[in-house]
Structure 1
Amino acid sequence: MLAYIVKRTLGAIPTLVLVTIAVFLFVHVLPGDPARLAAGAEADEATVTLVRHQLGLDLPLPEQFVRYFDNMLHGDLGESLRTRRPVSREIAERFMPTFVLTLTSMVWSVLVGLVIGVISAVWRNRPPDAIGMTLAVSGISFPAFALGMVLMQIFSVQLGWLPSIGAGSWRNYILPSITLGAGVAAVMARFTRAAFVEVMKEDYVRTARAKGLSERIVVVKHTFRNALIPVVTMMGLQFGFLLGGSIVVESVFAWPGMGSLLVDSVNMRDYPVIQGLILLFSVEFIVINIVVDVLYGLINPAIHYK
């Protein structure tokens, strides 16, 4: 197992290099002059030229990339063009609010999605299945920003039960986590149902029923573990998407996380912060994929790694 993890980690290095190159080129084709933004709207051309030289933006693009990549290998992601603070510090201050929000959203959405999916599979083509899949389709179809504004209007404005902005206490997490996790719960429900229906058609499941085992034993002991492998794959992907894709929800609820930081950085053409955030999101996806592969072996001991 350890050799497999090391092999996968080393194999991810070329992917990270390609992602770094792609992100570097992408941010440099964005419209706008970051030197002008950093110097200020009232700065004259000489000041802008001086700022551009200080930031190294007057160097040829390949030389800029080599300098950035060398600094990155030494753990230096550069300085924010807006705040002149290290990018690593900017990201670190915004990481935990996003991570806790994502984790909260993932926990409840996976539990709800699994329950709805299993119930729909066991009672497929019957009222519980119809109700569950209707909820799932609704969760997928309803845009996150619209759901967030509806929840905010009802529970914050009209009822006054929950705060609408900020991340000061656990109550602040309720509305954003519901908004962020609704789509994931819907996807998990549909995916779980499909996986369970497929497994429940297998011969060993029919044999278990023929032996007179109760439906609960059949589902829990003979179906759940085998149907869980594709579901775990979807869980890993959804967690990565939540962690890197909370921009809309954070904007709606004024959440002090990485999503709002990315939006501000794009608006201000803050190249180092944009590059650092997207690189972090890429690393997160790679780590999640490795964790998912390891979980395969824990769920199904028949799986062997080479």
Structure 2
Amino acid sequence: MIAYLTRRLIQAALILLGVSLITFALLYLLPADPVRQIAGRSATPQTVESIRQQLGLDQPFAVQYWRYLTNLVSGDLGRSYIQRSEVSELIVARLPASLLLMVGAIVCELVIGLSMGLVAAVRRGSATDQALMVGSFIGVSAPQFVVGLLLLYVFAVKLGWFPIGGYGTFSHMVLPSLTLGILGAGWYSRMMRSSMIDVLRQDYIRTARAKGLAQRAVLFGHALPNAILPVVAMIGIDIGLFMGGIVVVESVFGWPGIGQLAWQAIQRVDIPIIMGVTLVSACAIVLGNLLADIVAPFIDPRIKLR
């Protein structure tokens, strides 16, 4: 286990290094000038050039990236050009909201998606199976902002069951979590259905049924632990995606998470924040995949970490 973790952590460090290099290069080639955003429209050329020198943006790409990398190794994500605050402090302040929304979204997509996939697999070929798969296709295809606005209109405006937006209570979390969960549930249901159908064809399932075990015991005691393995791997990916890729949902519901911070930074060309959020999201994806790989052997003892 120690050797495996060491190897994976080295791989993670190389992945994060590659992500930082690619992101930094793309931002360096960006036609928008962050100095103009800082200085304002009425700034003189002398003022603009002075700010550029103060930020070190007049240096070659290699010099800028090396300076950023050396600061990153010491834990310094830089300072926001616009907000004039440390990027690490801004991210840490938004992190609890993003983590809370991530947990809520994963719970929603697992409950909805696994239930749909399990029922569809058991009733394969029936009208229920077809209806559930059509529903999953709609969930995957529907844009998040459309789903979010529709849920807001029905459950917040018309019925008044939940607040229109904001953050702080469980009721604030329901609609944005459900919006994200509907999209993920579509993927999980289709994957769960395919995996469960494949598992139900195995010899040990037929043996369990031949012994007279109840259908519930066969499904939940023998089939589900093996069929759920691909889903565990997807959860690891979703952790990273929900950490930085939920800009639309956070904007619709006014959720003060990292995604909203990233969107504001993109609008203002605030490069340190964009880099910081990108690296945090990449780190979450890497750690999520590592966690999924570690959990897999506990679900299926036949899997060995190598």
Calculate the TM-score normalised by the size of structure 1: 0.96
C-alpha separation between the residues in 1 aligned to 2:144 and 2:91? Answer: 24
- Does residue 13 of structure 2 align to residue 3 of structure 1? no
> What residue is the counterpart of 1:67 in the other structure?
67
C-alpha separation between the residues in 1 aligned to 2:65 and 2:239? Answer: 31
| 1:216-239 deviation digits (Å, cap 9, x = unpaired) | 121122211111211211222233
Q: Secondary structure at the match of 1:75?
A: coil
> What residue is the counterpart of 1:55 in the other structure?
55
Q: Which moved more, 1:148-157 or 1:283-292?
A: 148-157
| 1:2-43 deviation digits (Å, cap 9, x = unpaired) | 331122111222111111110100111222211111112221
> What residue is the counterpart of 1:138 in the other structure?
138
> What residue is the counterpart of 2:209 in the other structure?
209
C-alpha separation between the residues in 1 aligned to 2:57 and 2:67? Answer: 11
C-alpha separation between the residues in 1 aligned to 2:239 and 2:278? Answer: 16
Q: Which amino acid aligns with 2:150?
A: V
Q: Which amino acid aligns with 2:294?
A: V
Q: Is the 8 A contact 2:121 2:193 kept in 1?
A: yes
C-alpha separation between the residues in 1 aligned to 2:11 and 2:141? Answer: 37
Structure 1 unmatched ranges of 5 or more:
none
C-alpha separation between the residues in 2 aligned to 1:222 and 1:180? Answer: 30
Calculate the TM-score normalised by the size of structure 2: 0.96
Q: Which amino acid aligns with 1:110?
A: L
> What residue is the counterpart of 2:248 in the other structure?
248
Q: Which moved more, 1:258-267 or 1:150-159?
A: 150-159
C-alpha separation between the residues in 2 aligned to 1:299 and 1:157? Answer: 43
C-alpha separation between the residues in 1 aligned to 2:41 and 2:228? Answer: 56
> What residue is the counterpart of 1:238 in the other structure?
238
1:84 Cα shift? 1.0
Q: 4+ residue stretches of structure 1 with deviation over 4 A? A: none
Q: List aligned pairs for 1:36-51, cutoff 5 A.
A: 36-51=36-51
> What residue is the counterpart of 2:16 in the other structure?
16
Q: List aligned pairs for 1:114-263, cutoff 5 A.
A: 114-263=114-263
> What residue is the counterpart of 2:113 in the other structure?
113
Q: Is the 8 A contact 1:188 1:235 kept in 2?
A: no
Structure 2 unmatched ranges of 5 or more:
none
Q: Is the 8 A contact 2:236 2:290 kept in 1?
A: no
Q: Which amino acid aligns with 2:62?
A: P
C-alpha separation between the residues in 2 aligned to 1:115 and 1:107? Answer: 12
Matched length = 306
> What residue is the counterpart of 1:303 in the other structure?
303
C-alpha separation between the residues in 1 aligned to 2:115 and 2:253? Answer: 28
C-alpha separation between the residues in 2 aligned to 1:35 and 1:43? Answer: 10
Q: Which moved more, 1:53-62 or 1:27-36?
A: 27-36
Q: Secondary structure at the match of 2:305?
A: coil
- Does residue 136 of structure 2 align to residue 103 of structure 1? no
Percent of pairs with identical residues: 38
